């Protein structure tokens, strides 16, 4: 039997929640796996679909987070545990969305827009 190292990553320090700040009218919900921002301690990154080949990353300020609700954990084929949460962010807050993509012209990948139109119709 092989013993594997268990790595525990702290998402955020636990703070007592003030329920007076929370309402669905003053916040917007995002779902994904939150991680600490690698360079800025006052920010975190939400990985929207952590097991997908094509996902988005959203950068939020911790001060804009109103509520964090843990949903379920997903276990990968390699045995890694991925925590999924609902994150409620104050409406009107500034966030940055990152989406990986291949740099190039769309027509180069589809062979021209005429071929693309024929596939749709």
Domain boundaries, the chain: 19-120
Q: Residue 18 has what pLDDT?
A: 57
Q: Residue 6 has what pLDDT?
A: 47
Q: Residue 58 has what pLDDT?
A: 94
Residue with tokens 């693309």: 116
Strands (E), the chain: 27-36, 43-47, 57-61, 65-75, 81-90, 96-98
Question: What is the pLDDT tens value at each position of the chain, 121 positions in all?
Answer: 444 444 455 555 545 555 566 667 788 999 998 888 888 889 999 998 888 877 889 999 999 998 888 888 888 788 888 889 999 999 999 999 998 777 776 556 555 445 444 444 4
The Cα–Cα gap between 26 and 8 comes to: 33
Return the number of other C-beta atoms located less than 10 Å from residue 90's C-beta.
16
């Amino acid at each position: 039997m092989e013993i594997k190292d268990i790595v525990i990553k702290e998402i955020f320090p636990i703070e007592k929640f003030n329920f007076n700040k929370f309402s669905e009218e003053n916040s917007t919900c995002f779902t994904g796996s939150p991680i600490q921002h690698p360079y800025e301690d006052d920010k975190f990154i939400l990985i929207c679909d952590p097991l997908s080949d094509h996902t988005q990353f959203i950068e939020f300020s911790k001060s804009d987070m109103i509520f964090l609700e843990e949903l379920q954990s997903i276990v990968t084929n390699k045995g890694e545990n991925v925590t999924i949460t609902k994150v409620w962010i104050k409406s009107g807050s500034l966030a940055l969305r990152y989406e990986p993509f291949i740099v190039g012209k769309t027509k180069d990948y589809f062979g021209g827009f005429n071929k693309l139109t024929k596939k749709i119709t």
